[in-house]
Each structure stands twice: as structure tokens, then as C-alpha cells.
Amino acid sequence: MIFKVYFQDKITEVPVRERTNTLYINATSEGEVRSKLKDRPYNIEFVTPIDGAYLAYEEQSENFKVLEI
């Protein structure tokens, strides 16, 4: 399953919408996503699974790349 992760680049950074980044990761659960990203200095705001029409929409974006960690 593909998950979309909303995060800040620094763990100490307060979440601000204008500076929120996203990435896509292939995992089986939200817990697996968080464990795969635990060694990175990200302040993870939100993790959500994407599929169906939402996934098709996201795939059209030029920034869509699924990380294989």
C-alpha cells in the first residue's frame, strides 16, 4: 500500500502549512512507515494511506515518487 507522509524537514520545526513537505512510501501499515523514517530528522505531522482515485490523482503530479526504504 502507498502512504502519503506530511512532514517538516527538522524535528524541532513547528508545523506550518507553507513549509510542509510530502513524500510517498510503500509499506503495509502506518507503524511500518514511521519505523522506516525514524532515522531521518523529520517532524512527521500526518500519515495517510492513498488508493483508488486519490492515488491516480497523486500519480499525475510531477513530484510523485514512491520511496523504497
pLDDT tens readout for residues 7-37: 999 888 888 888 899 999 999 999 999 999 9
Report how far residue 38's alpha carbon sits from residue 7's, in angstroms, rounded to the nearest whole number: 12
Model confidence at 63, pLDDT cuts 50, 70, 90, reads confident
- Considering only CA atoms, give the Rg of the chain: 12
DSSP state of 54: H
Nearest alpha carbon to residue 1 among 36, 38, 41, 33:
33
Q: What is the CATH number of domain 2-67?
A: 3.10.20.730
Q: Please tell me the pTM assigned to this model.
A: 0.89
Domain regions of the chain by residue span: 2-67
